[in-house]
Amino acid sequence: MGEVSNALSTTGHQLGGPLDRREVVASLLKDRGDLLVVTGLGSASYDVMAAGDHDGNYYLWAAMGSAAMVGLGLATAKPDRSVVVVTGDGELMMGFGALATIGIRRPANLTLAVLDNGHFGETGLQESHAGRGVEIDRVAAELGFSWTNRIDEMAGVEELREKIADRSGCKLATIKIKAENPPRVLPPRDGVYIKNRFRAALGHAPI
């Protein structure tokens, strides 16, 4: 493990973990088939874009805290497709109540993949709640998610990829990544374009 992954927060908690975020996301989306992907704003969306732009990607550029709920609406309306929300610990926690809303709905085709670097990566790497000891996967387990995990090695990421595809229950994993900002790979910013492209891939014409 590198120096960063051993770093402790001001509250004595481990900040993030050893994994490389780009490697994690590339592995999650390998051979993705008809997987649908929603990204939270910021670094998670750059990671998904770096793994390859796709008609089945819906990138958020604002509305922080909304990615999990977009995933819930999509998964509910499209039960025959796997949906994964790839987002950061800070984005997820801005809409933390959504975990309770999802926990009582539990669509079997929805997975939340939370990239946890223990920091607010986009704004100057301040220590986040997760970095100060909030364990999001344990909260999700208490809230009724069918499967939760805390992942700090690539084998766990590969297992998660299989879990995403099997639609066997509503899942959440926190993936412990290094606190670093790789070069930005920017997704398209035209929200109407992203929406219409995604809908077209599911067979829906613009109004």
Partner 1 sequence: MERQNEAVAEAIDWQADVFRVLKDHDVKHVVYVPDAGHSTAIKMAEADNSINSVVLTTEEEGIGYLAGAWLAGERGALLMQSSGVGNCLNTLALQAMSRFPLLMAVTMRGDWAEFNAWQNPMGQKTEAALQLMGVMTWRADKPEDVAPLLHGAATMAFNGDSATALLLGQRLIGEKKWVK
Q: Of 21-29, 90-98, 121-129, 167-175, which segment contacts partner 1 by CB under 8 A?
A: 90-98
Closest CA to 28 of 159, 151, 146: 159
Q: Of 17-25, 164-172, 173-181, 199-207, which segment contacts partner 1 by CB under 8 A?
A: 199-207
**Residue from the set 60, 151, 160, 172 that interacts with partner 1 by CB under 8 A:** 60
| 199 is a site residue for partner 1 (CB under 8 A) | yes
The DSSP code sequence of 102-158 is HHHH--TTEEEEEEE-SEEGGGT-EE-TTTTT--HHHHHHHTT-SEEEEE-SHHHHH
| 207 is a site residue for partner 1 (CB under 8 A) | yes
- In the range 99-138, which residues lie near partner 1 by CB under 8 A? 100-101, 104-105
The minimum distance between CB 187 and partner 1, in angstroms, equals: 13
In the numeric block, which tokens belong to residue 85? 């929300």
Angle at 199 between CA 197 and CA 201, to 5 degrees: 70
DSSP state of 182: P
| 204 is a site residue for partner 1 (CB under 8 A) | yes
With beta carbons less than 8 A apart as the criterion, state whether 198 and 56 touch.
Answer: yes
> What are the CA-CA distances from residue 116 to residues 15, 73, 124, 201 (Å)?
8, 24, 15, 30
The minimum distance between CB 102 and partner 1, in angstroms, equals: 10
- In the range 157-186, which residues lie near partner 1 by CB under 8 A? none
| 62 is a site residue for partner 1 (CB under 8 A) | yes
Q: Using CB under 8 A as the criterion, which residues of the chain lie in contact with partner 1 when the complex forms?
A: 38, 58, 60-78, 95, 97-98, 100-101, 104-105, 191-192, 194-195, 198-199, 202-204, 207
